């Protein structure tokens, strides 16, 4: 079954708001994730985690990288439409108007599929 990576986008002020959450707010937020994971059932491959401390590397070196990606999850679904349906009502989309979720399909590497690479 195809695998999909869900990337959670949010402005930095949303991330800052979570960093200053009270224990009760943090628990309520965690409960939303727990409930969503339970709804996914076998479609959930890896619940993922919050992301941060982004760096970019290029031939000139490494630098801090600005990003609005704050987390990820790995899902499996029959196709892209089914993967999009899994996240269509996600609570992340309620945090701020500029919050979004990008779904990326994991693509096969033909040479690996054919057993040509070690």
CATH of the domain at 24: 3.30.70.1060
- What is the rounded distance in angstroms from the CA atom of residue 67 to the CA atom of residue 86? 24
| The pLDDT value given to residue 104 | 98
Q: Is 83 exposed, middle or buried (0-12, 13-18, 19+ CB in 10 A)?
A: buried
Q: Which residues of the chain have pLDDT under 50?
A: none
- What is the rounded distance in angstroms from the CA atom of residue 109 to the CA atom of residue 41? 27
Give the chain's domain count. Answer: 1
Domain annotation covers residue 118? no
Provide the domain limits for residue 77.
3-113
pTM of the model: 0.88
Domain annotation covers residue 58? yes
Place of tokens 């499996």: 76
3-class DSSP state of 117: coil
């Amino acid at each position: 079954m195809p695998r999909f990576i869900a990337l959670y986008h949010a402005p930095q002020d949303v991330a800052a708001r979570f960093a200053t959450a009270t224990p009760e707010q943090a628990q309520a937020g965690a409960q939303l994730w727990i409930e969503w994971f339970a709804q996914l059932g076998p479609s959930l491959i890896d619940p993922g985690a919050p992301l941060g401390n982004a760096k970019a590397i290029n031939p000139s070196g490494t630098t801090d990288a600005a990003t609005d990606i704050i987390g990820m999850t790995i899902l499996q679904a029959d196709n892209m439409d089914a993967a999009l349906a899994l996240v269509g009502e996600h609570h992340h989309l309620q945090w701020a108007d500029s919050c979004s979720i990008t779904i990326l399909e994991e693509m096969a590497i033909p040479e690996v599929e054919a057993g040509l690479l070690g």
